[in-house]
């Protein structure tokens, strides 16, 4: 196992419950929460090579969790808005076809 994998596994072991709680604070639906947790861990995996040590690794990880959760909320809101717009029906009569 390389260093990145070791660090990632250590983060999963140490922060797994906290990451799940962060996701749960943004998303109430259990299935969506599980999806969000997966997205957060994938984002952490991708971001690990960019960690510069400007903060603690835990701070870095929880910032990613927060940012990914906020992104999820925005996506849900945008989807809900688009679904609402599609469900609004125009009651005006359309052009007549001869």
Q: Which residue has the higher pLDDT, 95 or 50?
A: 50
Rounded to the nearest 10 degrees, how much is the dihedral formed by the CA atoms of 27, 32, 38, 44? Answer: -30
Mean pLDDT taken over the chain: 86
Residue located via tokens 């998303």: 27
Mean pLDDT of the 37-53 span: 96
CA 3 → CA 8, 9, 37, 41, 54, distances in Å?
8, 10, 23, 17, 19
| Interatomic CA distance for residues 29 and 16, integer angstroms | 18
Q: Which pair of tokens denotes residue 6?
A: 């070791």
Mean pLDDT of the 38-61 span: 95
Q: Which residue has the higher pLDDT, 74 or 23?
A: 23
Which pLDDT score, from 0 to 100, does residue 76 have? 79
What are 55-98's pLDDT values in tens digits?
999 999 999 999 999 999 888 776 655 555 555 555 666 556 55
């Amino acid at each position: 196992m390389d260093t990145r994998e070791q660090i990632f596994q250590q983060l999963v072991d140490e922060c797994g419950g906290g990451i799940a709680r962060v996701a749960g604070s943004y998303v109430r639906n259990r299935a969506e929460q599980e999806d969000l947790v997966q997205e957060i861990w994938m984002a952490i995996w991708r971001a690990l090579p960019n960690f510069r040590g400007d903060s603690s690794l835990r701070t870095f990880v929880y910032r990613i969790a927060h940012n990914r959760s906020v992104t999820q909320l925005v996506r849900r809101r945008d989807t809900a808005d688009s679904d609402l717009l599609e469900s609004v029906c125009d009651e005006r009569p359309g052009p007549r076809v001869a």
